[in-house]
Amino acid sequence: MNNKELVLKIVELVGSEKNIQQVTNCMTRLRFKLNDSSLVKLEALKELDGVLGVVEDETLQVVVGPGKAAKLLNLLQKNVDLEGDLEVGEDWEENKDRVKGKQKQSKLKQGLRMIGEIFIPLIPAIIAAGIFNGFAGLITNFQSTGTLPAEGFWQITQLILSLLGGAFLSYFAIFTGINAAKQFGATEGLGGMIGALTIMEQIDDISQAVGMYNAETPLESILISGRGGIIGVIIGVFLLSIVEKKVRKIVPDVLDLIFTPVISLSIMALGMVFVVMPLSGFISDGMVNFLSLLVSSEIAAVNIMSGFILAALFLPMVLLGLHHGLIPIYALQLESMGGVSLFPVLAMAGAGQVGAAIAIYLKAKKVNNDKLKQIISGALPAGILGIGEPLIYGVTLPLGKPFITAGLGAGFGGAFIMLQDVMSSAWGPSGISAIPLMQPGSMLTYFLGLAISYLGGFVITYFFIKEQEIAELN
């Protein structure tokens, strides 16, 4: 039985496509959310050739083996017409799953998602480090103006905050290497070593010894400590995973623990120093230069246009699963510029949804649509705090037009943020919750950007959405 036949048989045994509300996958299994679990032919499903097991939980989980679930889900989406449109309602998670479930997982999306998964576990530390560094910078600013004393309690406080922020950000490459190893299937400790070697001072000594060092302008050296940043680390760990697996096939099991890491790292050290770091350095430089054209242009019109487009299109990018590719750009900006200018712009997207939801609420109030009012009232506080999914998947996306008008409204906030050179010390949740992540001089400006996005989303939605459209939802 081939994979397509297996998929069609599984669908038949879970009660046909009409019984399937949604289906997702993890590494080893398909997860079905069904309308009626009594329609499942459980014994036949368990005995089906290609099914390794069945787990009954909140969802019906069909175990098919490592790596196979994603292939089967892709075939299922191509060959089975699952019913179910998006509906306005409090159960926004179902709408979210339906949107994600219908998306084709291309190689690009899979790659971007894998890159995103490298950084997602680091987000709490990124947020904490950013906040610590932000407050340390705030104290330093007050000390420089004489508002706070340069010694005593405030000196110790500033040093401790800087210590906490630096404890993560100074060794970002190591954390990235460890998590990249998890994603690519390499040994985590070896991945951390790949990250660590890129920031070691011996890199500069090697660069000088082989003539790759520019003594007049060290930062323009072909090879220098930190060259290539996290992009080089990710590429290096990916190559490490390939090398390590090939070496392990050759080395006898009894010698694996000693020889595999030594041989793998020896090969990769040479590759990192003489190939990956210089090459990824050129890539990073190119990306930084391109970003500088967008975020640091001397032409105000360019900043306004780029800020508007980025903020307006961010949520569609999220729906398509392309937003994962932005995380390395955040990290690249943090490494090269000491702050992130792209995140504050994109954070305006959620604020536009808030403004649109308020406009819809007022329309719903006029036509006495109490259900919609209740849904928005429950989701609005979360949206203001930066958790936009309840509003997006429960209100604006199912309605269709408000999702577009909200994005257009967010564009005005994005243009303002870009024009004002707002910078954050980290990235994380958006909305009001992101204010502490902004650098001290950008906190007020970021808040004004949110207010502009609220207003833009509200005004455009209010004038483009007819009361009749809201009344028909009763």
Average pLDDT, the chain: 84
DSSP class per residue in 301-335: HHHHHHHHHHHHHHHHHHHTT-GGGGHHHHHHHHH
Residues above pLDDT 70, as percent of the chain: 88
Contact call for residues 62 and 10 (beta carbons, < 8 A): yes
Closest to 267 measured CA to CA, from 175, 183, 185, 193: 193
Burial profile 249-274: b = 16 or more Cβ within 10 angstroms, e = fewer = eebeeeeeeeebbebbbebbeebbbe
Dist. CA 313–CA 315, nearest whole Å:
6
pTM above 0.75, yes or no: no
**Alpha carbon distance 462, 405 (integer Å):** 9
SS3 assignment, position 435: helix
What average pLDDT does range 351-371 have in this prediction? 91
Provide the pLDDT for residue 234.
Answer: 92
Tell me the C-alpha distance between 18 and 197, whole Å: 55
> What are the domain boundaries of the chain?
3-84, 171-291, 300-471
pLDDT of the residue at 65: 72
Measured CA distances, 67 to 31, 98, 466 (Å) = 14, 22, 47
Q: What confidence score (pLDDT) does residue 24 get?
A: 76
Q: 286 CB contacts (<8 Å, ≥6 apart)?
A: none
Encoded amino acid at 326, one letter = L
Q: What is the DSSP string of 361-400?
A: HHHHHHTT-HHHHHHHHHHHHHHHTT--HHHIIIIIHHHS
pLDDT at 116 over 80: no
Q: How confident is the model at residue 71 (pLDDT cuts 50, 70, 90)?
A: confident
Of 347, 413, 345, 406, nearest to 376 (Cα)? 406
Based on its alpha-carbon atoms, the radius of gyration of the chain, rounded to whole angstroms, reads 26
Length of the chain (residues): 474
Q: Of residues 131 and 406, which shows the higher confidence score?
A: 406
Q: What CA–CA distance (Å, rounded) separates 131 from 107?
A: 35
Task: Specify which residues 60 forms β-bridges with.
Answer: 32, 56
Q: Which residue has the higher pLDDT, 310 or 382?
A: 310
CA distance 329 to 458: 30
**Cα angle value 226/124/329 (rounded, 5°):** 45
CB 426 within 8 A of CB 468: no
Q: Is the pLDDT confidence value at 243 over 90?
A: yes
d(CA 362, CA 402): 13
Query: Which residues share a beta bridge with 472?
Result: none
Tokens encoding 417: 């943020």
283/281 Cα distance (integer angstroms): 5
The Cα–Cα gap between 409 and 130 comes to: 28
Distance, CA of 20 to CA of 39 (rounded, Å): 11
Give 49: exposed, middle or buried? Use CB within 10 Å, 0-12, 13-18, 19+.
Answer: exposed
Order of strands across the sheet with 29-34?
A: 20-25, 29-34, 60-63, 53-56
Query: What single-letter DSSP state applies at residue 466?
Result: -
Please give the Cα distance from 299 to 301 (Å, whole number): 5
Amino acid in position 286: G
pLDDT for residue 282 is more than 90: no
Q: How far is residue 292's CA from residue 176's CA, in Å, rounded to a whole number?
A: 24
The predicted-structure confidence for 392-441, as pLDDT tens digits, reads as follows 877 888 888 899 999 999 999 999 999 998 999 888 778 898 898 898 88
pLDDT given for residue 188 in this prediction = 92
13 is catalytic: no
The answer to whether the CB of 301 falls within 8 A of the CB of 260 is no
pLDDT at 31: 83
Residue 160 has a CB neighbour count (10 Å cut-off) of 12
Q: Residue 85 pLDDT > 60, yes or no?
A: no
* Torsion angle, alpha carbons of 150, 151, 154, 156, to 10: 130
End-to-end CA distance of the chain: 48
pLDDT at 144: 81
- Bridge partners (DSSP) listed for residue 340: 424
Q: Domain 3-84, what architecture?
A: 2-Layer Sandwich (3.30)
Q: What does the pLDDT average to over 335-359?
A: 91
Catalytic hit among 1, 5, 16, 26: 26
Angle formed at CA 279 by CA 275 and CA 280, multiple of 5 degrees: 115
State the average pLDDT over residues 196-222.
Answer: 89
Distance, in Å, from the CA atom of 450 to the CA atom of 448, rounded to the nearest integer, reads 5
What confidence category does residue 66 fall into, taking pLDDT thresholds of 50, 70 and 90? Answer: low
